Structure 1
Amino acid sequence: MQPLAERVRPKNLDQYIGQQHIIGANSALKNAIQKNLLPSLILWGPPGVGKTSLALIIAGELKRPFYMLSAINSGVKDVREVIEKAGDNNLFNQNKPVLFIDEIHRFSKSQQDSLLGAVEKGVVTLIGATTENPSFEVIPALLSRCQIYVLKSLEELELLELLKKAIHEDEYLSTKKIELKEHEALIRVSGGDARKLLNALEITVNSIGANEIVITNELVLNTIQQNLALYDKSGEQHYDIISAFIKSIRGSDPNAALYYLARMLKGGEDPLFIARRLLILSSEDIGNANPNALLLANNCFNAVNVIGMPEARIILGQCVTYLACSTKSNASYMGINEAMTAVDQTGDLPVPLQLRNAPTKLMKNLDYGKDYKYAHSYENNFIEQEFLPDALAGKKFYEPGNNQREAEQRAYLKKLWKEKYGY
């Protein structure tokens, strides 16, 4: 029997749960599907949010031949064979074939180059799926010929809808009397991943071996803990291990961080994937508490790129232990999030006139740039003036953390701004 996630895979857009921001009414992608004007595209999002399902649905809605390759076990030869088949099919079929590449970020440059000609000539419509930022992983020539769609993790209500749908509509589960008394544990272990959610549900149901089942949080946690799969770089624990790795560094435990680093390297994980995560962490979780962290992480990324395995493990080990032992602060991370929330809530507020550029006479006549005070012309290179739009005057986004370096920043800001920002 197929896994539950395959058995309940949606067959059309009406059955598809989530991602309404890209396939909802009047969305660009839905309009393209309805008009049969599908461009090559890349679906970027975390695991288990419906990238493969959406690709299958699109090909089905448009009645197009569908070819699928996984970047994990396909080489240049496989790509060329599929393109040749698709080209032959295209001669006798007015609908351009769809070529779906799962985990396209794992394709090498030569593999991606082998796709480029077919996409340029219109032999196939490419749909790539990736959990990694395509601007890092997809060659520019291919990226420029694709539309990028960002898929989001499923919300709790969407995951709950998926659970209920599986329980009542699956050919096997629907024959049992299943009461979903509690769902929080299933949602928690899934991490927003629909595939993991359905796997957890199936494991839980199968563990009971009865026709009447009451699903509780305790039952789920006990069952899942006894059935955790071994780490596999292409399996679902891939994201559990990287999560544990990041949280160990954030929690200042170099021993646990090294352990999870070793798990990933032994499992064949891409060292650059790890190095990118360290770059993000150095800014998100350490930030101005230790600015050298970002510099070291950036040097680590560049060195790993040049050196490669197995020696790259030494460089990663040094960086990991340094970051784990560093003072932590998420003040910068929280600050940009606060600022972006303010932009969402207030929209495009006008920039104060004194801060506007005035390259033309008309702009000068409109007082653009008038009364702006050049900081370097004043004592200590500072003069108090308003930089935020009027509606946000005095709004504080950056709250320095409780550590030596950011304490110095707080004292400096308080000296400059007195009580304005509450430092």
Structure 2
Amino acid sequence: MSSSFHADTPLAQRMRPTSLDAIIGQLHLLATGAPLRRLVEQGHLPSIILHGEAGIGKTTIAMLLAAAVGRPFHALSALNTGVKQLREVLDSKDSLNFESPVVFIDEIHRFNKAQQDALLGAVESGDITLIGATTENPSFSVNNALLSRCQVYRLEPLSAEQIATVLQRAITEDYQLKCLDINLQAEHFISELAHGDARKALNLLELAIQTADPKQSPLIIDDALIGRVAQTALVRYDKDGEQHYDMVSALIKSVRGSDPDAALYWMARMLVGGEPADFIARRLVILASEDIGNANPNALLLADTALRSVQSIGMPEARIILGQVVVYLATSAKSNSTYNAINAAMTLAEKDASPVPLHLRNGVTKLMRNEGYGKGYAYPHHYPNHYYPQSYLPDNLVGTRFYEFADNQREQHSKQFMDWLKNQAASNQ
């Protein structure tokens, strides 16, 4: 059988489901008893916002919801629709048609306030039913007044098994592909590259089939072929393998080396590859203390805040927070003095078991005090500048230094303050 493959309409478009039952994934919204399924069964469709990553079915679901309740459907894209075009659609309602049309706005988060306000009146009056689609968190990207009049539903990326089902359905049901003898061996690899995006998975499959040797029978679609056709557009990233650790290392070393551009690049590679945002944020918290430390204590505060924000917000918005903190850390003064100090102290602590000097012990009972606990301890707050020179180390370790002030402005300022305290104390004796 010939393996020639030509198609004017992209495979992803040809495989667009034609009924809600044909949609793969989103069972939390479309299964029996789920929210969107109940709306359709009741014949009622309110204004809604569909929130989720690209390629997971927002547009398709919007079209099929409108069809399921028998309503006219108008699709607009926020990328190329101004207020004038929007008002033309809103004003085009047929007065004899008592069913309000469904107006689908893709990338609704890109509408400015004026454009969103233009929708508000029509939604509020019931002249239209709005279905907005956004990859951004609608709480931050859609006007509160409009958001309060819509129900928000989160769509989830497809699982690896669901992507495999999408690919197999294309091979067996598409009118072009089912005429070919296809041996698909790269389901797992395509799923890794697609990251839950059915459209991306189908595009990869289509490109691989178009690239395969037409003399082959069957057409073998393996990892090597997928890797070649993906090239730099879809970067393979094994979150559980060696490359995972290589890229983490590259990110950390770029920040440590004060190169914000390289740091952003490696972090982007990790995010595009599906690395959890909170994993990256945790590594940045560690880095802020290890490689910046007291050269800029605010670095740790910002990194910790970023971790908490990333955990509460999630992707894709978390990329903005991570981008900010990576640039801040990369352009901050660097110091590993406290990192070296705690390591040196830990090393000595593993070998030394010196008792706590008596004057540093807490004499909470009369017996303890009679045994000398706390005797000779000088309370620093009773002395000028809240400082009194006394030994806080065991006798055998007196004079040991773990921490060395690094040559950055903040730590040198602390050194100058400590030197001043000691000089003042000496002059007062």
**Partner amino acid, structure 2, of 1:199:** N
Give, in whole Å, the separation in 2 of the partners of 1:315 and 1:182: 37
Alignment of 1:120-139 (within 5 A): 120-139=124-143
Aligned to 1:360: none
Q: Deviations over 1:177-212 (max 9, x none)?
A: 111133111111111111110010001000015263
Aligned to 1:78: 85
User: Does residue 67 in structure 1 map to residue 74 in structure 2?
Assistant: yes
Query: Identity rate of aligned residues, in percent?
Result: 39
User: Does residue 4 in structure 1 map to residue 24 in structure 2?
Assistant: no
In structure 2, the CA distance between the partners of 1:326 and 1:228, relative to structure 1 (3 Å rule), is farther
Q: Secondary structure at the match of 2:91?
A: helix
**Residues 257 and 324 in structure 1, CA contact (< 8 A), matched pair in contact too:** no
Give, in whole Å, the separation in 1 of the partners of 2:194 and 2:200: 5
In structure 2, the CA distance between the partners of 1:185 and 1:262, relative to structure 1 (3 Å rule), is closer
Aligned to 1:42: 49
Q: Secondary structure at the match of 2:183?
A: strand
Aligned to 1:191: 195
Q: Deviations over 1:10-42 (max 9, x none)?
A: 010111000000111011211111112111101
Aligned to 1:158: 162
TM-score (norm 1): 0.60
User: Does residue 219 in structure 1 map to residue 225 in structure 2?
Assistant: yes
Aligned to 2:261: 258
**Residues 296 and 319 in structure 1, CA contact (< 8 A), matched pair in contact too:** no
Give, in whole Å, the separation in 1 of the partners of 2:259 and 2:184: 36
User: Does residue 97 in structure 1 map to residue 106 in structure 2?
Assistant: no
**Residues 297 and 319 in structure 1, CA contact (< 8 A), matched pair in contact too:** no
In structure 2, the CA distance between the partners of 1:198 and 1:117, relative to structure 1 (3 Å rule), is same
* Cα displacement (A) at 1:59: 1.1
**Residues 212 and 220 in structure 2, CA contact (< 8 A), matched pair in contact too:** no
**Partner amino acid, structure 2, of 1:156:** A
Q: Secondary structure at the match of 1:126?
A: strand
**Residues 138 and 147 in structure 2, CA contact (< 8 A), matched pair in contact too:** yes
Aligned to 2:146: 142
Give, in whole Å, the separation in 2 of the partners of 1:122 and 1:98: 10
User: Does residue 18 in structure 1 map to residue 22 in structure 2?
Assistant: no
* Cα displacement (A) at 1:317: 8.5
Q: Deviations over 1:312-366 (max 9, x none)?
A: xx98985262489799xxxxxxxxxxxxxxxxxxxxxxxxxxxxxxxxxxxxxxx
State the number of aligned residues. Answer: 287
In structure 2, the CA distance between the partners of 1:281 and 1:184, relative to structure 1 (3 Å rule), is closer
Give, in whole Å, the separation in 1 of the partners of 2:56 and 2:206: 18
Query: Rg larger in 1 or in 2?
Result: 2
Give, in whole Å, the separation in 2 of the partners of 1:326 and 1:13: 57
**Residues 52 and 102 in structure 1, CA contact (< 8 A), matched pair in contact too:** yes
In structure 2, runs of 5+ residues without a counterpart are: 1-7, 235-243, 267-276, 290-299, 308-322, 337-363, 365-402, 404-429
* Cα displacement (A) at 1:92: 2.1
**Residues 252 and 326 in structure 1, CA contact (< 8 A), matched pair in contact too:** no
* Cα displacement (A) at 1:293: 2.2
In structure 2, the CA distance between the partners of 1:160 and 1:280, relative to structure 1 (3 Å rule), is closer
* Cα displacement (A) at 1:60: 1.3
* Cα displacement (A) at 1:223: 2.1
Q: Secondary structure at the match of 1:101?
A: strand
Aligned to 1:32: 39
**Residues 180 and 214 in structure 1, CA contact (< 8 A), matched pair in contact too:** yes
**Residues 254 and 263 in structure 2, CA contact (< 8 A), matched pair in contact too:** no
Q: Secondary structure at the match of 1:152?
A: coil
Q: Deviations over 1:370-399 (max 9, x none)?
A: xxxxxxxxx9xxxxxxxxxxxxxxxxxxxx
Alignment of 1:155-304 (within 5 A): 155-210=159-214, 212-225=218-231, 228=233, 251-254=252-255, 258=261, 284-287=282-285, 290=289, 291-294=300-303
In structure 2, the CA distance between the partners of 1:318 and 1:31, relative to structure 1 (3 Å rule), is closer
TM-score (norm 2): 0.59
